[in-house]
């Protein structure tokens, strides 16, 4: 007799995809696949909190247009299906981002092995690509780096491989911390400390030369002032997770923190900014 999964297809603004995945995971869904219009979530048939799912949709519908479509499909080997669609990423012909099962056909100056589970950040999303690309242009040698909302820890690992002296990373999600620690171990990075919680709960100490934050716009606007308090006088903050049309809002917030734009980068409709202290 065939086994079935409950499938939830979510159509949403890409800016909300990651936070919705995290919320829906709390309702019991345990497997996620990104799509062109949002993502799909899977769980053993009906093994989820239906009331919580309704509450999530109601709450976020007040902020952004979203569509939930539920059905059931025959159980599959999700790892096998995921591996078929998960391709290596090459950033600026300098960095190869791959999973352990990918065959290596060409050597690159940097290689990061990332096998995400329920964490976010594989290099496939435009903002992760922008962050890694701009990291390649920053001098990490002997620097102290903070990675806020680290997800898979891809940016922390990149910082370590670029020569950072130490990296302090944190994320609010338990599964991100677990997955991040696994990726850190696979990449043999021994100078990364990873904690669970918001920045106030992770409790970093001292100042940082580089602060990395690939988070959605609202969190950036809320926490940028806090990041600035941890920034060395000659340090920089590299941020992404927002659209090009959000740049003015981010720069206004940055100005209020005594920061100014150093460089900006765009990829399709997404953007990244490097911020430094105003002189």
Domain, as residue range, for 17:
4-82
Residue 159 is part of a domain; what is its CATH number? 3.40.50.150
Do 32 and 11 fall within a single domain? Answer: yes
- Provide the whole-model pTM: 0.75
Domains contained in the chain, number: 2
| pLDDT of residue 1 exceeding 60 | no
Last residue of a domain, one of 57, 82, 107: 82
Residue 34 is part of a domain; what is its CATH number? 3.30.70.120
Last residue of a domain, one of 82, 115, 149: 82
Task: Read off the pLDDT band of 80 (50, 70, 90).
Answer: low
Do 14 and 65 fall within a single domain? Answer: yes
Do 78 and 93 fall within a single domain? Answer: no
Do 92 and 164 fall within a single domain? Answer: yes
- CB under 8 Å, gap of 24 or more: what pairs does 21-30 form? 21/118, 21/120, 22/173, 23/56, 23/60, 24/53, 24/56, 25/118, 25/175, 26/52, 27/52, 27/53, 27/56, 28/52, 30/118
User: What are the C-alpha distances in Å from 203 to residues 86, 128, 199, 206, 231?
Assistant: 35, 25, 6, 10, 14
Convert the pLDDT of each residue in 127-136 to its tens digit: 889 999 999 9
């Amino acid at each position: 007799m065939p086994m079935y999964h409950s499938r939830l297809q979510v159509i949403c603004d890409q800016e909300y995809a990651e936070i919705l995945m995290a919320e829906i995971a709390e309702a019991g869904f345990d497997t996620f696949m990104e799509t062109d219009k949002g993502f799909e979530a899977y769980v053993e048939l009906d093994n989820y909190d239906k009331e919580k799912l309704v509450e999530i949709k109601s709450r976020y519908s007040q902020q952004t247009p979203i569509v939930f479509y539920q059905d059931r499909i025959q159980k599959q080997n999700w790892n096998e299906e995921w591996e078929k669609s998960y391709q290596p990423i090459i950033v600026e012909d300098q960095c190869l981002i791959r999973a352990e099962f990918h065959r290596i056909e060409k050597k690159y100056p940097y290689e990061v092995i990332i096998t995400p589970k329920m964490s976010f950040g594989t290099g496939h999303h435009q903002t992760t690509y922008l962050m890694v690309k701009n990291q390649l242009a920053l001098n990490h040698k002997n620097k102290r780096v903070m990675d806020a909302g680290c997800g898979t820890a891809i940016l922390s690992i990149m910082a370590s491989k670029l020569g950072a002296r130490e990296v302090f990373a944190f994320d609010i999600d338990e599964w991100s911390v677990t997955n991040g620690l696994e990726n850190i171990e696979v990449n043999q990075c021994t100078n990364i400390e990873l904690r669970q919680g918001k920045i106030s709960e992770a409790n970093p100490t001292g100042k940082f030369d580089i602060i990395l934050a690939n988070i959605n716009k609202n969190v950036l606007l809320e926490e940028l002032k806090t990041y600035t308090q941890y920034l060395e006088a000659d340090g920089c903050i590299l941020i992404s997770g927002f659209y090009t049309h959000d740049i003015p809002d981010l720069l206004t917030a940055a100005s209020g923190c005594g920061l100014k734009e150093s460089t900006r980068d765009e990829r399709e409709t997404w953007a990244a900014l490097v911020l430094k202290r105003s002189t």
